[in-house]
Amino acid sequence: MLDNPILKAMMNRKSIRKYTDQVPSDEVIETIVRAGQQAPFASQMCSLMLSRDRENIPWEAPISFLVCVDSHKLELIMAKRGWKLITNDLFLLLLGFQDATLMGENMVMAAESLGLGSCYIGMIPYEAESLAKKYKLPNRVFPLVELVMGYPDESPPPRPRYPLDFVLFENEYPEFSDKRIERAMKVMDDGYMAQDYYRDGDLMLKLKGDREETFTFDTYGWTEHISRKWGQWLESLDKMKKKFTQRGFKI
């Protein structure tokens, strides 16, 4: 593969869950945010809420950003131009998700380049109303993800990824053979087990229902973990739809 400082930072990125006491300066924070703003966007439908309340930030990181989809600002600007929003909220949210996630990723890489680490908190949408109250978010602003940042106090290895032939398909989507699927699974499982990721964090998810536990930390890898997550969690759409409705989006 080709190599340069930007690629090296991207390939070495990993989630950080231990941070030093050093607090990023205002200049560092502003630089990270400006880099986030330069991400590609659909309509700049995103806003950031900054917190320095270390006691209430995961892993006591020095700062966190709540990355929000923000239709509120867009609609204020449209009103100034004599326009009313008629685009359906589902498509609008999809565009807003793009804006917010691309901004967040730019911020992650900017932080990496400045010697900081970060970690995403992905279940934030289920806390939308409590976060809206905490940050006094107006209607039509939806919390999408929390991004915690600080100077790392650990140096874990980059986590495994699928092999390229399980991700990149030219011209048409393939029909996967069992061998190809199993090879991709083995890359992920062997990689995580070699790092003792689930053992060290005691992260084996408990089984629900009448499934018998047949795994130990010697055999429990990423594919079993991710299967237990999405094979046991969040079956109903109703709660998520309610969160969008409470924030002013009609799905």
- The alpha carbon of 115 is separated from its chain's Cα centroid by a whole number of angstroms, namely 20
96-133 tens-digit pLDDT: 999 999 999 999 999 999 999 999 999 999 999 999 99
169-224 tens-digit pLDDT: 999 999 999 999 999 999 999 999 999 999 999 999 999 999 999 999 999 999 99
Q: What's the mean pLDDT when you consider all of the chain?
A: 97
Q: What is the pLDDT of residue 69?
A: 98
CA–CA distance, 37 with 113 (Å, rounded to integer): 16
Q: What percent of the chain has pLDDT over 70?
A: 100
> What strand order describes the sheet that includes 63-70?
46-51, 63-70, 141-150, 117-121
pLDDT bracket for residue 137 (50, 70, 90): very high
- Name all domains of the chain by residue range, CATH numbers in brackets: 5-155 (3.40.109.10), 164-232 (no CATH)
pLDDT bracket for residue 235 (50, 70, 90): very high
pLDDT bracket for residue 1 (50, 70, 90): confident
Closest CA to 247 of 99, 126, 98, 84: 126
Average pLDDT for 219-248: 97
